[in-house]
Chain A
């Protein structure tokens, strides 16, 4: 990997084991065996023009733009060779366009050929200004064309999904999109059709046309053949300001590039971070950003008018005074609970955690705005909170793992970049086992094995692995094996206990992969009922003292008993045991029991809501304080690896305030100092605390025996889809169109039992309500029905009040 010195004769180049020596443009160079010529040349600083070549895709040699002259063993090859498919060899002599007129002429010829049918669309093409074809035509092409006949035309553009538009005239048939879809995403939804001059990219007819990663094909298209409906004609690269950012959606923490113009985000692109997302992001991360600019965004503080009972705009001073007075009164009455939601930055979550402890004197704080359990909290606070990329599972660890067991985790829907890594690993030989309910697309695309079980019986299934699937246990015992646990494990009693035991037995490393970006960070900063920042337990007097000293509060002032969890806080608020609530970005319909949440919101004496947009919480709130969305503030997320993903402010000067600033000022009104005026101050205050001592968790929850569902009933399996009704996906019609169809899934036998037919409808009901939707058969266990949790008209929690593992009534329904 060394570049030849200026005088090649002065010192002989040392060729390490597994390397070869070759000459490029008269410069001797040592390259590892198997390296492609185009990359070796790139290391020397010689950029060979290319379209089809992409470092993360397999070589194709489709565009022929990268032709170079090659000489092997003193004999020149008869024709110029494609440097993107040819690997280095010992004694090779390569001449690129810099030194070889033959290579230069060949490249110009290919460029002329590519431009023959390329339309003069540059002024109206979205790629114009950042187009590799444009740039390379100027750098390596002829100044005029000898082609004067009519260009081949196609009708354009065609929608290959609601989001992706295809203009076949512009395509140079490099096959980057088809190779990405086939190799990386595993959704071969676009393919080459026809032959000769009519050859074109097209949509496969028999395959359903859906991909969660379709946006990547737009980004890697070297011409403007693939464009997105959301960014269509919005801007030019020269009037966009690009800011590096971090995705605020799932817990992967992908590097992104946010392009904005005149204070408005126009598009997001995948950043390049080999340790995390490589060069890919999912469509949600790419296209879901307009929630921050929708019309109903709350921009001014709102205070509930005493007389009319309606929210009215107020000044910050007034709102903070009212909020502080109300919270202080509620605190001195029965206490205040804090629900932070799972989408906060580390800095903001830390402010909530500190606010609860020193302004509200309570441990009643929980970030889990979703089904949760005490077992989960024990696992997280004893084990997960202390993991980081140095001692835990990482993306790169997954890639190297001999085997991966996925427990109650649907990677493609919950953490798409983890799915891409799993697929990449599986293509290299990693065995992937999915402990779930049916063969989802992710199981197929990771070449995985489904370990099917009834919802709620995941723990029993894990416990039975040594007995019934000793090969899985054997594979997991190999060094580097990983167990990935999803957020759904919280509703399965005994699941975390079983996972911990399996990990102990096999030595496999466990990673917890939540769905939301802020959950891991909120855990680390103690936005939980039992932890202080840094994984310190609230019941530990020494840890408390440490925190009290660092925070500069009176010794013994921090509450010593673990607080209530989300459900506990809601129950207490509903029954009057708590007098007030501070609620961050929480959607009550994501909570395990939305009806209880409604009751708590209606029953709590005083509610302060920190929100972006009107919600079911602001409808009950006494004071609503507007806060900044991710693009308008700085901060960091901890991704599921425990890796800190820092980002700066993208849109400066909008006047919106981050949660930490709002809470800091609110605390000052309540005579407490948080020192979290800015995200940087908050991060510094958090850094002073450092990490607590590793505790470890003692899990001992028995897996319950499943009782049969009973006649007319089935066990509900359900999880969130990546693209659904999420509150950060509002105002994105093009993205919503790429969501998977909303259908229920049952086994063939179950369908017969309930008299259901594929293509027909099924009605799923509980005592709260009923949902009717189309039904399909799949390989689920008998007596199980699967529904998407929150997609389209199907809102399982809001309508049924049910969740994963609940018993529901099933009947054949009509449309």
Chain B
């Protein structure tokens, strides 16, 4: 008799505790600011890509989730400052374990992680994100590559004086 009352006691007591159930997806969870979510390929202030296709992210990846192929910037088609750009960039989210080693490896801060965690799908193909899926959106003042370097004459201007030159360009 006492035993069953004890059981109801647990139920009754729980009614007054904080609810742990999440109302996802109606209510989206706000993650910690440094949560390792979907990757993003960043851009320079004029819209050129920061990725140089060096494959260091692919090298660092313990899950072999990243595929990169470099390409040659030409005068006619420029995607990044300097000689090299990432011609093909793919992250396989079926493999990615979100460890963030790729972010640490990136020499140009091109690859960062967003807080977006909604990475589920009903087929494998759609979980291989390509460069188009990963590139950061164009902000005001940015221009879709290919286009010539707008912030300076060479890549040094981008890496050393990038933010200042961007500000000057806006004024």
Contacts and interface: CB of A to CB of B under 8 A. Distances in A.
Binding partners A and B: yes
Given A124-B82, A124-B84, A157-B83, A233 B58 contact: no
Choose among A124, A157, A232 the residue with the greatest number of B CB atoms under 10 Å from its CB.
A124
Nearest to B159: A120
Nearest to B84: A124
B153 to A, nearest CB: 11
Given A124-B82, A124-B84, A157-B83, A234 B54 contact: no
B38 to A, nearest CB: 23
Interface of A: 122-124, 128-129, 156-157, 232-236, 238-239
14 contacts: A123-B52, A123-B56, A124-B54, A124-B70, A124-B82, A124-B83, A128-B54, A156-B83, A157-B83, A232-B72, A233-B70, A233-B84, A234-B70, A239-B58
B37 interface: no
9 closest A-B pairs (Cβ-Cβ)? A233-B70, A123-B54, A124-B84, A123-B107, A236-B55, A124-B52, A233-B84, A233-B72, A232-B72
B98 interface: no
A149 to B, nearest CB: 15
B98 to A, nearest CB: 22
Given A124-B54, A129-B59, 16 more contacts: A122-B54, A122-B107, A123-B107, A123-B108, A124-B53, A124-B70, A124-B84, A128-B54, A233-B71, A233-B84, A234-B69, A234-B70, A235-B55, A236-B58, A236-B59, A239-B58
Contacts of A124: 52-54, 70, 82-84
Contacts of A238: 59
Contacts of B54: 122-124, 128
B44 to A, nearest CB: 15
A233 B83 CA distance: 9
A26 to B, nearest CB: 39
A238 B59 CA distance: 7
Contacts, number: 37
A233 B54 CA distance: 8
A239 B107 CA distance: 19
A279 B25 CA distance: 63
**Interface of A: prevailing SS:** loop
Interface residues of B, number: 17
A157 B82 CA distance: 11
A129 B107 CA distance: 15
B107 A235 contact: no
Nearest to A155: B154
B111 to A, nearest CB: 12
Contacts of A235: 55, 69-70
A122 B87 CA distance: 18
Nearest to A120: B107
Nearest to B54: A123
A157 B70 CA distance: 17
A233 B82 CA distance: 13
Contacts of A128: 54
A467 to B, nearest CB: 61
A232 B72 CA distance: 7
Interface string B70-87: 111000000000111001
Contacts of B82: 124
B160 to A, nearest CB: 11
A122 B52 CA distance: 11
Nearest to B82: A124
Contacts of A129: 59
A156 B83 CA distance: 9
B155 to A, nearest CB: 9
Contacts of B84: 124, 233
Contacts of A157: 83
Contacts of B59: 129, 236, 238
B117 to A, nearest CB: 29
A128 B84 CA distance: 13
A177 B82 CA distance: 26
Choose among A128, A233, A238 the residue with the greatest number of B CB atoms under 10 Å from its CB.
A233
Nearest to A123: B54
Contacts of A234: 69-70
Choose among B55, B107, B108 the residue with the greatest number of A CB atoms under 10 Å from its CB.
B55
Interface string B28-65: 00000000000000000000000011111011000000
Contacts of B83: 124, 156-157, 233
B131 to A, nearest CB: 15
Contacts of B70: 124, 233-235
Contact of B53 (A156, A233, A239): A233
A381 to B, nearest CB: 51
Nearest to A157: B83
Nearest to B155: A124
A714 to B, nearest CB: 46
A232 B74 CA distance: 13
Choose among B56, B70, B87 the residue with the greatest number of A CB atoms under 10 Å from its CB.
B70
